[in-house]
Structure 1
Amino acid sequence: MQLHIRQKQDPVTLYLEGQKEDYLARAAQETPFYEAYYMQCIESTVADGYEMFLLDFSRENYFRANVERLDLESGKRFFKLAGIHHTIRVVRRRKKQLHWEEMSAAMARVYELDEKERQMADILYRCASLYQSGFADLFARTTARYLFHTLEMTPQTLAFLLNFWYNSYSSFMASFVGYVPFHIRLQKASGS
């Protein structure tokens, strides 16, 4: 019982769980495919947050190193970054089935992206489209700058962030398509 009370007072838990509920409520307002996609993305982000901010004590863990700087705004930004990253990756991978303009509009509604955040997402998407090999590096640097305003980082921290986003997307997609394949989800959502 005491462990449960202690977890409720933990700021990381409060930020993750509080944000989760807000984002899930907005995702529930979307079309069936976007609802399922963003609900899974949000749940996956919560799992990533717990792991990175509380459980992973590796030396170059950027998130753990900045856990004391985590506040409501940076908590929101963590979710937004995951939503942006995963949306860009899935649209790039499924460009014949998904369209950036439509999916980024749904993403903006779910995560309440402001105009600058939408512009950032568009720039990152263009980078992923035009210079795919540079996208991961740019996104890792964007994460550091946007999340905790870090301008410089060690090569090890950069490598950590590169690995984090790769693994985050991989585990998210594995859970999203684990029982229902992607093309079936799209077919069901379109009524085909």
Structure 2
Amino acid sequence: MAGKYRWIPILLTLVTLLSCSKKNPVGSDGTTQSDYYPISSGSWWKYSSFWDYTDSIGETDTLSTGSLVYALYTITAGYTMKVYLQKTDKEIRRYPSLSDTNYILVLLKYPLYVGLKWEVTPYPLLANYDSMYVIGLGSITVPAGTFPNCYKILRKRDNIREDPVSTVKWYAPNVGFVFNPEDSTKLISYSIK
């Protein structure tokens, strides 16, 4: 009888291993890491700051390198700005255009954890060198609600032509960017598709 059930631990181990995925590593808070910037057509986020604006994910397109990206529209006071977002297993990238793939801003790296640091050079011709740091994990309350397990990301620009500049953004699981204390940007409402 005991030999008959020897396969159960092997089967359970196999099921556990197959259920794990490198595409969406699970963070210490139990959420999948890629949920910190959900990117899907039709999603939008409305923010209040010095001026109100809305970010919305539009159509998919292809970079000159052949990679799939999503159009991100920022709409404020009748003006629309368009950039492109790419989601990989390891990071969220922002491109200024489909043809210009030299100016990449890595918004998030995965897996996220406090203490993580990465370097980006979004404008190499201007000698801008940005360092991104994950400096905290906590709860944030904004008009759109209270969000636990938010990562606090510091972006520090070290520019040989200007004084250093830094900004902080908070990202919530399953929502994305929710708060920036420097300019009092707060998420008012959102819809994730």
TM-score tier after normalising by the smaller chain length: under 0.3
The alignment's TM-score, normalised by the length of structure 1, stands at 0.27
Larger helix share, 1 or 2: 1
TM-score by length of 2: 0.27
- Which of these two proteins has the greater Rg computed from alpha carbons? 2
